[in-house]
Amino acid sequence: MSSLIALPRLCVFIMAGGSGERFWPASRTATPKHLLRLLGEETLLEQTVRRFEGIVPLEQIFVLTNVAQLESTKAAIPFLPIANIIAEPAKRDTAPAAALATGLALRHRPDAIVALFPADAMIHDTATFQTQVAEAAAYAGEHSSIITFSITPNQPSTGFGYLQLGSELKATDATRFVTVERFVEKPDAARAQEFFDGKRHGWNAGMFLWQGALFLDECRKQQSELAEFILALEKAPEVEAFLAQAFPTLPKISVDYAIMEHAGSVVAAIAEYDWDDVGSWTALPSHLGQDASENTIKGSVITLDAHRNIVIAGKRTVALCGVNDLVVVETEDAILVCHKDAVQKIKNLPLPPELK
């Protein structure tokens, strides 16, 4: 979007890890959800990267992946500078990823603003997203606050953590900024309904912006190991060699637990764009549509007296007759048949190593 102001301080980091369990058999360890073309001709990762074009140049967009997915990630986004695709040498959580992003950003420039976003969310309204990210980056640059996007719930979901929202601080052209009073764990059904009815809670989508120096200061106060890592990374002569040695020693902890819950100031930008974390196969109908029998179909599929099914066919034709409410996914080496109510159990399937 050429109308947006230049944001030379902003460095965008996209977290592209994941284990590929919930979208098995299409997703595997080396090709998790964000590397699939589930919702179009582009992978979710490519769509995420493209969504930031117009806010910052490609040179200011980085992807954090892992060793197992490095080659498939490079193949998915060949237009991104190869040096901007960084493989974490060990599996950690989002707090080490946030520290890695901050250290790399501060290497780029000492007054850097960090944007940390997941790779696997679906957002259709790119124009509003870009405008709001630009406004959130500007707010982060002017205030000593960590910014997180709050998604307004459209249902009482138990699948997300929540943000308890407080008073409004500022309203720009497209964005309202409000205080975050506290982070709330994934609730049970009763509390989720209470949050939904009360309209004082938003979904925590794990999308953050902060000044690099501010995040470093929070790490000094709360997680000294992360602060030491950031400072050492800033000065390391060679990033890959440093990460191989230092990154595996970092604690496995989420950025919410490690930093956000006790940070000096966390501010929510109320998202005005659509958002879906595409958490399971049952998320596909809202993006791919349905036929007259409420089936969602991709590939060569034949149905007769079959209703409300989700069917993904690979190279073969899949035929459904007289069945309802199933998820059927066909790949070269595996076929999944699952009731829609059981999709959260897919990750618990006792798969042999060659199918993981």
CATH 3.90.550.10 residue ranges in the chain? 10-270
pTM of the model: 0.92
Tens digits of residue pLDDT in 87-107: 999 999 999 999 999 999 999
Residue in the structure block whose two tokens are 């899949």: 318
Q: What mean pLDDT value characterizes the chain?
A: 94
Cα 78–chain centre separation: 20
Domain 10-270: top CATH class: alpha beta
> pLDDT at position 1, please?
39
Is 18's pLDDT higher than 90? no
Residue 300 confidence (pLDDT) above 90 = yes
Place of tokens 């991104």: 80
pLDDT at 40 over 90: no
pLDDT above 50 for 2: no
Q: What pLDDT does residue 5 have?
A: 55
Question: What percentage of residues in the chain have a pLDDT greater than 90?
Answer: 89
- The kind and range of the H/E element at 108 are helix 94-108
What pLDDT does 216 receive?
A: 98
Contact between 48 and 151 (Cβ < 8 Å):
no
Confidence check: pLDDT of 218 > 90: yes
pLDDT for 47: 95
3-state secondary structure of 124: coil
Q: What is the pLDDT of residue 3?
A: 44
Tens of pLDDT along 171-198? 999 999 999 999 999 999 999 999 999 9
DSSP per position, 295-337: -EEESSEEEES-BS-EEE-SSS-EEEES-BSEEEEE-SS-EEE
Cα 165 to its chain centre, rounded Å, is 21
Q: What's the mean pLDDT in 287-298?
A: 95
pLDDT, mean of residues 65-79:
94
Q: pLDDT value at position 6?
A: 66
Query: What value does the mean pLDDT take over residues 43-58?
Result: 94
Q: In terms of DSSP bridges, do strands 113-118 and 201-211 run parallel, antiparallel, or are they unpaired? A: antiparallel
Residue 275, both tokens = 């958002």
* pLDDT tens column, 125-156: 999 999 999 999 999 999 999 999 999 999 99
Q: How many Cβ atoms sit within 10 Å of the Cβ of residue 28?
A: 24
